[in-house]
Amino acid sequence: MTAVDARAPQAARAAGDTGARNAVTWLAVRHIRRGALIVIVLVGGMSAMVASTYASTVGDAMDADALAALAENPAIRTLFGQPVALDSAGGFTVWRTGTILAVLVGVWALLTATRITRGAEDAGHWDLLLAGKVPLSSIVMRHATVVVTAALLVGFATATALTAAGTPPAGAVLHGAGLALVGVFFAAAGTLAAQTFPSRAAASGATVTLLGSGLLLRMIGDGVDALGWLRWLSPFGLTAISRPYHDNRILPLVVLALAASAVLATIPATAARRDVRGGWLAPRTGRAPQLRLLGSIPAFALRRLLRPLAGWSAGVGAYYLLIGLLAVSMTDFLADNPRFADLAAQAGFAGLGSVEGYVAAMFALLAIPAGIFAAVHVATIAAAEADRRLTLIYAGPVTRLRLITAEAATAATGAVALTTTAGLATWIGATSVGAPLRLGAALAGAVNVLPIAALCLGAAIFVLGWLPRAVALVGALPAAGGFLLQVVTDSTDAPHWIGTLSPFTHLAAVPDAAPDWPGVIGMLTGAAVLAVLGVTGYQHRDLRT
């Protein structure tokens, strides 16, 4: 009887611990369920759409000579990856959407991982959890496991969608597994960075840098035959050399799975041996105070802008320098192969036969980082408000109108600087290879995307005033969502009016064509209206605490 009584409290404690750990898991599920569902539907749906419309959009264009021309052109391989099995719907889908969707899954996984781990910890949302019986390492791992599971579901949905679209199951499963493992790797990397760096922003920045480096290695490995081995060092390169729908190589994905597992395995020990709200790379103590740009609200907003702007400018500048360096190779190839120019036009990239048309098409993509940059900058205001870092500022003689005006002006300045950097980098690259591109034309093409960035800024301010928890997501919709909408409508027989909903439809191909001034005025007007409505809501709602 005594033994039974002694075991009963132990069983009750074990059940209580299990219940607490399960509650942590469901808390993580609640935090990511909406974003995960959007990514699953988007990735699976876009893959199925491209595969289903392969016959009508490509037709008989992919003959042996066309495939050989694609495979031999380094510019095509660098920008879009090595063409494999393009004579099948599955292979064409992987080549056209594989890298884009892998980047999307990777970015979502790493940002989600840092948000629900380090972001929640720094905001004090875990204080009561950590006061209980569940240790920090267990809380972190359960959140990471949920993000990893969501990434695996993305891969499963992609494989299912491609199989349902009629592509061979082996290739569909391999491609889905590759996308899933990219998400798993960057979810693990983001979680590990959240234990290593002293803040969420630093962890996110470090993991985004890792993602960009991996993408760059893939591009170099695909474009330069002698450096093809670099693809084994990149998650994106490993998924590429698995060659779905052609060789169906499993070894590269095994390597990626082992790398992701190794990163996951280091997380518990890293989390268990640090302080709450601390990191292995703690900021230096005892340094002299940095008082520059702290004298006013606009100066402080500028101070907060400079470091992220430097990182974004470096990445965007490197990419558009490469775009300029490839200008001659790409335009010569498309001039000799008009069938591929037609396919590019169907995908939303018309006029690639000339240097100015080529850079105009590539500059259209610039609207995405410029718009997301502006939206993310506004999202930092919502994060600072939720973390109570604005409480003392608002306790002084500072109005909300003054603060949001300074932050909006700073975000707009950053978007202008980002596009100018891209224009200069493209001109430098094009000039280096003898391409006929004037500096004024390059800058005009780059700043031409600013109306879409303004729409993103206006949407972000609007959501800040009325739904502050979704600033980054909704703010990025005019750029990221608008581009995807244009690609879908150009690739299918969708009604014309659906395409007009995308801001990219109203964006002229500058410098190959004159600006679409009615479209520019319309987008700027819409951005101004959204911003005014957002500021009104921000002034009248309660602060988030």
Is position 286 within any domain?
A: no
Q: Is 245 left (phi over 0), alpha (psi -120 to 50) or beta?
A: left
The pTM for the full model equals 0.81
Do 307 and 449 reside in the same domain of the chain? yes
Q: Which of 313, 301, 311 lies closest to 378, judged by CA? A: 301
Is position 287 within any domain?
A: no
* More reliable by pLDDT, 501 or 242: 242
Read off the tokens for 114: 């840092």
Do 257 and 314 reside in the same domain of the chain? no
Q: How far apart are CA 385 and CA 391, in angstroms?
A: 7
Tell me the DSSP string of 414-443. HHHHHHHHHHHHHHHHHHHTT----HHHHH
CB-based contact 165:89 (threshold 8 Å):
yes
pLDDT at 244: 94
How much of the chain, in percent, has pLDDT values that exceed 90? 44
Q: Is 507 left (phi over 0), alpha (psi -120 to 50) or beta?
A: beta
Is position 288 within any domain?
A: no
Do 198 and 324 reside in the same domain of the chain? no
Do 269 and 313 reside in the same domain of the chain? no
Do 324 and 248 reside in the same domain of the chain? no
Do 273 and 305 reside in the same domain of the chain? no
Do 408 and 262 reside in the same domain of the chain? no
Residue 287 pLDDT > 70: no
* More reliable by pLDDT, 135 or 129: 135
Tokens 């019986």 -> residue? 133
Q: 414: pLDDT confidence band, cut at 50, 70 and 90? A: very high
- CA 55, 223, 435 angle in degrees (round to 5)? 95
Q: Which domain holds residue 511?
A: 295-545
Decide: helix, strand or coil at residue 3: helix
Q: At which of 253, 278, 303 does a domain end?
A: 278
Q: 78: pLDDT confidence band, cut at 50, 70 and 90? A: confident
pLDDT at 232: 94
SS percent in the chain: helix, strand, coil, step 5:
80, 0, 20
Is position 272 within any domain?
A: yes
Do 2 and 151 reside in the same domain of the chain? yes
Q: What rounded mean pLDDT belongs to the chain?
A: 85
Do 192 and 325 reside in the same domain of the chain? no
Do 175 and 300 reside in the same domain of the chain? no
Q: In the 8-state DSSP scheme, what is residue 227?
A: G
Do 246 and 205 reside in the same domain of the chain? yes
Residue 362 pLDDT > 70: yes
Is position 290 within any domain?
A: no
Do 359 and 270 reside in the same domain of the chain? no
Lowest mean pLDDT among 104-108, 160-164, 335-339, 526-530: 335-339
Q: At which of 218, 244, 278 does a domain end?
A: 278
* More reliable by pLDDT, 353 or 165: 165
Residue partners of 488: CB distance under 8 A and separation at least 6: 46, 49, 494
- Total domains in the fold of the chain: 2
Q: How far apart are CA 543 and CA 545, in angstroms?
A: 6
Is position 375 within any domain?
A: yes
Q: 347: pLDDT confidence band, cut at 50, 70 and 90? A: low
Tell me the DSSP string of 167-192. --HHHHHHHHHHHHHHHHHHHHHHHH
pLDDT digits (tens, 9 = 90+) for 306-327: 988 998 899 899 889 988 988 8
pLDDT at 134: 83
Q: At which of 221, 246, 278 does a domain end?
A: 278
Is position 289 within any domain?
A: no
Q: Which of 165, 199, 158, 160 lies closest to 181, judged by CA? A: 158
Q: How far apart are CA 219 and CA 81, in angstroms?
A: 7
Q: Which helix (H) or strand (E) holds 259?
A: helix 251-272
Is position 284 within any domain?
A: no
Q: Which helix (H) or strand (E) holds 459?
A: helix 450-466
